[in-house]
Amino acid sequence: MNVLLNHIHQSLGHASFSKTYHTLVSHFYWPQIAKDTEQYCRTCSICQLSKESTQYLSRLLKPLPILERPFTHISIDFLFLPQVTNKSTQVSYDHVWVVVDRFSKYTIILPLPLNYTAIQLINISYTSIYPFFGLPHNIVTDRQCEIVDKSIIAILRVKFLEQGLD
């Protein structure tokens, strides 16, 4: 069977399964002819080398800008951890928020409570990052998608202004 499949498939110029199958069934029959033909066409080494790629073309990489000051550009990531409970406060944590200054590589690791919310993230950044380093100009995630997170920065600015007016 393989000799016959090889001959028909090559004589058709390594055609698709459909063309190879229809040529075979017009002249021959055996049980599981469709399965054998499909298997042969799928494993044909010449067809594997010449078929079109199914992967998307990758985009050109965009280099990150060269920085001049610390904490103007930060990268953030959220990491899962085994659940830990702080014995003094009875608060359970299952994530850490990793904030890295891209200029100095200074790293801040902050524990996050179970089921944290965006408001909690803003409050944590307001108490743990902003007083020491100020507001970043932009934020880069672990997927290298540049984010200018205007909503968080706007909320922090409003909160800062409210604190300044008191």
| Whole-number pLDDT of residue 159 | 58
Instruction: Answer for the pair 75, 59: CB distance below 8 angstroms, yes or no.
Output: no
For residue 55, what is the DSSP state? S
User: What digits encode the pLDDT tens for the residues 3-48?
Assistant: 888 888 888 888 888 888 888 888 888 888 889 888 888 888 887 7
Write out the two tokens for 81. 């951890």
Q: What is the pTM of this model?
A: 0.53
Q: Give the three-class secondary structure for 19.
A: helix
| Whole-number pLDDT of residue 156 | 59
Distances (CA, A) of 149 to 30, 75, 112, 122, 129: 64, 12, 20, 12, 15
Rg (alpha carbons) of the chain, rounded to whole number: 30
User: What digits encode the pLDDT tens for the residues 127-138?
Assistant: 888 888 888 887
The answer, yes or no, to whether residue 161 has pLDDT greater than 70, is: no
The answer, yes or no, to whether residue 72 has pLDDT greater than 90, is: no
Query: Domain extents for the chain?
Result: 2-50, 73-165
| Whole-number pLDDT of residue 104 | 93
84: Cβ–Cβ under 8 A, 6 or more apart, which residues? Answer: 92, 93, 94, 111
